[in-house]
Chain A
Amino acid sequence: MKALRNFLDKIKPQFEKGEKFGIFGSTFEAFESFLFVSDKVTSKGSHIRDNIDMKRTMSVVVIALVPALLFGMWNVGYQHFLSLGEQADFWATFWFGFLKVFPIIVVCYVVGLGIEFAFAQMRGHEVNEGFLVTGMIIPLILPPETPLWMVAVATAFAVIIGKEVFGGTGMNILNPALTARAFLFFAYPSNMSGDKVWIAEKADAFSGATPLGDALVGNIDKIPSPLEMIIGNIPGSIGETSVIAILIGAFILLYTGVGSWRIMFSVITGGLVMGWIFNLCAVNEYMQIPAWEHLIMGGFAFGAIFMATDPVTASQTNKGKFIYGFFIGLLAVLIRVVNPAYPEGMMLAILFMNVFAPLIDHYVIEANIKKRLKRAKKLINI
């Protein structure tokens, strides 16, 4: 560790402004602050800084994503061998999934970080760590059979149009990972939905439909049992299937205070409320399934824990978070049950509420100002 620090200190002067590698200043800064705590101090405003800077926050989220990732790798292999009707031991299964998933992660990081570094150089600001999480989430919400070039195109689109156009990390309106998925969903629908894409190299005769796909076409009896959906050994996007793995991640996020419990809680409430409303006025079998089952189907859990809670695109006010989360849950269930074109509503629900988050914040703040003005006026009158 010490040797690394010394090495960095030795080459640091070369990256100062005007020196030999001056133009790569922000690249150096990025690597240095990735390895060590940055020695930059604020020049004006508040000088008190918590240890929990963006790097720490992002690292926690990445750690929270690891259970879902590992389970996803295993499940990709498990589904593959299941569809072939073969038996394989644990490590062979995991290795198969690893070989499928790892290239997607590498492509995501290479393309995304490449663009981030290029923009940071061009604009002369430091590279933000925001993409560490995005690059990890994108693979987890894709089907295992997504071609790598599509992953690259979608990542580039998400980083450029979804993020850099607005000014980089912290300025984006839409969640970048979901922007990538939405791009793929509309651009290459045959690779993002249907029953062919959810199992890697599956045998043709084996049905690869996800629970949501089955439910939408009326095969309610084919939906896996709740236990299977909670454990997650079912076809689906790489990281979304296992509710247990996601709950471990949720625990990490909540314990460290990185993820907002308000959003998670209200997304789940919203989903349950919409499920109950459908139960009350059920006209088909899909509407009759118990409300809580919506929470463990498809990407609901993953979206509620990891994507709705994105601190940049969610509402900032505490009251706003409840409203924002509630409507995500409500819309997700509404879309998936009612709209035949979109088997999963979580992606569109979160993107939709991302757009509304600033508006919600605005009215929450306005309401607060009004309330306090009223109180102040009362005091004056007395």
Chain B
Amino acid sequence: MSTTTVAHHDEHTDHPTGIMRWLTTTNHKDIGTMYLTFSLIMFLVGGSMILGIRAELFQPGLQLMNPDFFNQLIGVHALIMIFAALMPAATGFANWMIPLQIGAPDMALPRLNNWGFWLLPPSAILLTLPFTLALFGIGDGALATGWTFYPPLSIQGGIGVDFAIFAVHLLGISSVLGSINIIVTLFNMRAPGMTFMKMPMFAWGWLITAFLLIATIPVLAGAVTMLLTDRHFGTHFFDAAGGGDPIMFQHLFWFFGHPEVYILLLPVWGFIPQILQTFSRKPMYGYKAQVYSLIAIGAMSIIVWAHHFFTAGMPVPALLYFMYSTMAISLPLAVLFFCWIKTMWRGSMSFETPMLFTVGWIILFGIGGLTGLVLADVAADAQYHNSYFVVAHFHYTLFAGGIMGIMAGVYYWLPKMTGHMYNEKLGQLHFWLTAISFNLTFIPQFFLGLAGMPRRIPDYALQFAEFNMISSIAAFVLGLSQLIFVYNIISTVRGGKKATDQVWEGAEGLEWTLSSPPPYHSFSEQPTVK
């Protein structure tokens, strides 16, 4: 006779447990969690480095470190914040949310996904190991070239440059694997009925990001490899003494480096409108306009790179081209800003922590964008280049525009991921401390730059002392206030008020139809999008 046995299992027996779960997992939520955890740890590591720098800059003169170590901290801080904090955070959200948002059971290439993550810890070790080796008398510390690796300094640098080159290779492989995975997932695994123009904005942001990574990572990989061969194998790609061209490296690096800014920001521009519509309790304004703007920004981002080195010397037509094309990016960005504000317009708004971060983000990122327009002006850039004005500008873009956006996303999705509500009072305290101390850190730097203080120098003239002191004190408040963020996340993971499935009253999308936290495997029934 025929028999059927249906066993019942507890949720905890449904997947491997312990360390093996994390080492071997191919589950998109596990991998997303690992990316986000790694990102948070590296954010604290990179942040600690910059506090060392701000302590040194608290007053003129050399107090705490020699100039070479100062430069090492600056270079590694930037590489860690860009590659090991901001990018993995966005990738963590992608892993967690893209399958949920498009109704897929997992990412298209789960094993590749696992490899993509596990390349990150070795690269973080490669970036920071030279510091430790130097303590034992091996080598002369990490790379001291800034994150841009410019030759001839990088050709003459110590083994820290080699470590950083290999770290960049690993990070690049990880990014390419992740991008291919996201592209195949978004193209081939959308739920029935989910056409491209019904895809959530976050998925759109990531799709364009993935294409940008695929287009630009080989150029970066080629550039740093050529640097490596110049250093050790007798080539002269960038060595002027051997007939090479150091400016060529700048072209190669910034062909990747400028799109990298958008690689960091596009995923944030993807979920910001979703947060705005949730807490404005009205539909997103201008979905199509936003999608087309994201595509336009992505496409334009790979044709404007040379504005990062106007002062290196270029023919006037090239200067004009890169100036006008850079300024033209502000047009689709203006469309985005208009749509974000219009989404809030006459909405039934409430200001929970994700919304606070989002509104703060719009204002501060707006300042970052507008100061970028100033730098895009060839004539003005001659004065501002390599000054603290640039430092302040890109921190408004990447800290406010990137990290504060990520924080908005964390508060928005944390209840969905963990099944618990975070502490709202602590969240709001975190926001206000962050927003105020961030401005107090970087507004003085705009003025320092305008007054002529150069970046990447550990000492400065007495006239800059007061503003540097304000900036340093505020930077420490900014750094310490992030401990509230860490505490809030850990306490939310451990417990707290139970989150509902929808979590937020105005939340819409497939991810909010699942339980909080979602089951280990995402959709038990294929959702259909109408």
Asked if A pairs with B, the answer is no
Q: Which residues of B contact A (CB under 8 A)?
A: none
